[in-house]
Amino acid sequence: MVVQHDSEILSLVISDQDELHRSYMPLIIDGGLFIATQETFALNHEFFFLLRLLNDSERISFTGKVVWITPSNSENYREQGVGIQFCNDSNGIIKKKIEKYLSGYLNCERATYTM
């Protein structure tokens, strides 16, 4: 995963299906992504995102809100970062697109960044 941060705009590139599986947070209402970062963000902080998934040339833009924080000193040595909820995806377009990419992964028991 590549994250570029410019003020209130985050650009994400997830080019690997395994990384997408580890990052995806399906239990969040409307879906979300975990972003590994050492930066500190507050709960409910909103950002504008530009997201590119796998080999897709299209960039998906959305507003996301911090709904999960894994601190640097977390138990079980979890990756430090934040979980972002998709805020302006009322039709579930982003969630459906991710779940289409992950069709063979959604019910697997592989560990993710958050569970």
Give residue-wise pLDDT tens across range 72-110. Answer: 877 766 788 899 999 987 788 899 999 998 887 666 666
Q: Is the pTM of this model over 0.75?
A: yes
CB atoms within 10 A of CB 49: 22
Fold of the domain spanning 2-101: Thrombin, subunit H (2.40.10)
Contact 72, 46 (CB under 8 A): no
Which value, in Å, is the radius of gyration of the alpha carbons in the chain? 13
